[in-house]
Amino acid sequence: MLVSHFRSREQLTGLLLELPALTTALERRQANAVPQLVDMLRRSEHILLTSRMRQAAGLAASRAALAAVRLEEVDSRIRTRERRCALQQIGLIGAALSEALTPVEQRIESARLTARQLLQLVAASGAISLNGDRDLMGLCERIWQLALGHDQLKSLAMQIRIALNRQDILLLLAEEIDPADFSQ
């Protein structure tokens, strides 16, 4: 199953942005902070497992550390130890998510630079024009098909294809295209 790199980047970034609020909740000793962290860990693991990223194991270890505190003998200080453990795990969680996000972002940015070159060449050639058709995705599809079939553009298309799946390629082209470059 192909996973969208754009979607993975969006989801991982969203999870990273949850960490400051969770840290604040733990510092303020809010009762729901640890369950929220465990929920965030489960969601993070699911995203990483879906993308087949090894960082999911690190998040499972953090979740296990939190569970171990809960399984200890129950006493009046369990919540304090649980919060302390959660605060210790936040740094590890952030590092694992950042480590997973970095190659995804690098892949997208590398493909973005190549896509810009491709779009400049196609626009300069005049081989494709908008012709009143305001369907941006249709224009992107025609550009991509031209790139795959054209000998001089094929190497750029292959560089992009290696980095991204077809759905992501069309999204990337849609982000980078300037329709004014293709109107005559």
Provide, rounded to the nearest whole percent, the portion of the chain with pLDDT above 70: 89
Burial of 74 from C-beta contacts in 10 A (0-12 / 13-18 / 19+): exposed
Q: pLDDT tens-digit profile of 121-175? A: 999 888 888 766 568 888 899 999 999 999 999 999 999 999 999 999 999 999 9
pLDDT band at 70 (very low <50, low <70, confident <90, very high): low
Residue 130 has a pLDDT of 76
| Weakest-pLDDT range from 43-47, 53-57, 180-184 | 180-184
Domain ranges of the chain: 5-102, 107-182
Is pLDDT above 60 for 1?
no
| Weakest-pLDDT range from 5-9, 51-55, 65-69 | 65-69
Is pLDDT above 70 for 90?
yes
Find tokens 């194991």 and name the residue.
57
Give residue 71's Cα distance to chain centre. 34
Residues in the chain: 184
CA angle 17, 19, 10 (to 5 degrees): 30
Whether residue 83 contacts residue 122, with contact meaning beta carbons closer than 8 Å, is answered with: no
Backbone angles phi, psi at 31, to 5 degrees: -60, -30
When the pLDDT of each residue in the chain is averaged and rounded to a whole number, the result is 84
Of 25, 147, 44, 131, nearest in space to 86 by CA = 25
Collapsing DSSP to helix, strand or coil, 17 comes out as helix
Which DSSP symbol is given to 164? S
Of 86, 88, 100, nearest in space to 34 by CA = 86
- DSSP secondary structure string for all residues of 35-93: HHHHHHHHHHHHHHHHTT-THHHHHHHHHHHHHHHHHSPP-TTHHHHHHHHHHHHHHHH
The residues, any chain, with a CB within 8 Å of residue 112's CB and separated by 6 or more, are 172, 175, 176
